[in-house]
């Protein structure tokens, strides 16, 4: 089976479209990206977010900031009733303290689920906004009715945006979760002995078919650019002949983008009702 993210993203998109239409007479949902660097990959990402916002009629704005004004700019966005979602573009330049910056974002507008407050809620088993990519993986597994209770799930990658929050979401689904990283011993065994594997490493085609046994489910979170083409952490051509695997592109990334839009309209609706 190929796990397709496009279908799920379209369903979420239908919801977003409906909400934007419902709110039309009261408010236009809006997302503001706080930008502190102008590197090429940040620009590519910003363009794709803008395109998605335009598609749904969500207002898109950017604030260029530096180390001196980033906190005061975030403060303004936090209290601006016309701003519903705030995204802090990362990586931040090294002179900016990421923890301090993320801590300063109003958790109610933290549509990416990256603030310490929202990560704390997730840890307590009461997620408000979970990090979008982690949420996207869970929604893909649920969409394809992959049972998680009592299952062995191996996550390769322990970042704060993907691996760690995903481990908490999956624990809440009663999975038994193993989180692996670059210092993990016997990674091959941990991957092969799982029922479900999540690859979130950032190494193009690191996992070929020899890593998996029949019947495993593989979700590929990786987005890597090789010779101008996007590839995952999983070698899709060989792995898809052996086990069920998600596509890249057309997989987790599409669902993640749709969830971001859904979070923005949900904040707009919540603020509108106050």
- Which residues contact ligand NAP (rule: CB under 6 A)? 133, 156-159, 161-163, 180-184, 187, 200-203, 221-224, 252-253, 256
* Beta carbons of 92 and 39 less than 8 angstroms apart: no
Q: How far is the CB of 130 from ligand NAP (least distance, A)?
A: 13
Give min distance, CB of 257 to ligand NAP, in A.
7
Name the residue nearer to ligand NAP (CB basis): 105 or 197.
197
Which is nearer to ligand NAP, 36 or 256 (by Cβ)?
256
Min separation Cβ 158 and ligand NAP, Å: 4
Residue among 68 and 186 whose Cβ is closer to ligand NAP: 186
User: Which of residues 83 and 180 has its CB atom nearest to ligand NAP in the complex?
Assistant: 180
Give residues with Cβ within 8 angstroms of 140, minimum separation 6: 3, 5, 8, 219, 246, 251, 252, 255
State the nearest-atom distance from the C-beta of 183 to ligand NAP, in Å: 5
Instruction: Give me the residue whose beta carbon is nearest to ligand NAP.
Output: 159
Nearest to 155 by CA among 175, 130, 136, 181: 181
Give min distance, CB of 184 to ligand NAP, in A. Answer: 6
Considering the complex, state which of residue 148 and residue 166 has its C-beta at the smaller distance from ligand NAP: 166
Minimum distance of ligand NAP from residue 116's CB (angstroms): 17
Q: Computed over its alpha carbons, how large is the radius of gyration of the chain?
A: 19
Instruction: Pick between residue 73 and residue 139 the one whose CB is nearest to ligand NAP.
Output: 139
Question: Helices 40-56 and 5-23 sit at what angle, rounded to 10 degrees?
Answer: 60
């Amino acid at each position: 089976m190929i796990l397709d993210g496009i279908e799920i993203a379209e369903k979420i998109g239908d919801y977003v479209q409906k909400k934007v239409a419902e709110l039309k007479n009261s408010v236009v949902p809006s997302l503001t990206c706080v930008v502190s660097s102008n590197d090429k990959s940040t620009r590519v990402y910003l363009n794709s977010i803008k395109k998605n916002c335009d598609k749904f009629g969500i207002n898109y704005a950017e604030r260029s900031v530096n180390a001196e004004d980033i906190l005061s700019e975030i403060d303004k966005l936090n209290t601006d009733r016309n701003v519903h979602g705030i995204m802090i573009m990362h990586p931040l330049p090294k002179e900016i303290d990421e923890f301090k910056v993320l801590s300063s974002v109003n958790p109610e507008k933290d549509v990416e689920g990256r603030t310490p407050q929202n990560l704390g809620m997730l840890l307590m088993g009461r997620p408000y906004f979970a990090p979008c990519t982690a949420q996207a993986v869970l929604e893909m597994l649920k969409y394809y009715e992959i049972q998680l209770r009592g299952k062995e799930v191996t996550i390769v990658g322990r970042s704060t945006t993907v691996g760690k929050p995903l481990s908490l979401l999956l624990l809440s689904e009663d999975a038994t979760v193993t989180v692996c990283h670059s210092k993990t011993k016997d990674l091959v065994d941990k991957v092969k002995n799982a029922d479900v594997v999540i690859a979130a490493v950032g190494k193009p085609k690191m996992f070929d078919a020899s890593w998996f046994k029949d019947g495993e489910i593989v979700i590929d979170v990786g987005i890597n650019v090789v010779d101008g083409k996007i590839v995952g952490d999983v070698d899709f051509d060989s792995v898809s002949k052996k086990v069920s695997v998600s596509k890249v592109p057309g997989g987790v990334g599409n669902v993640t983008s749709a969830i971001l839009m859904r979070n923005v309209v949900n904040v707009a609706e919540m603020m509108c009702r106050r």
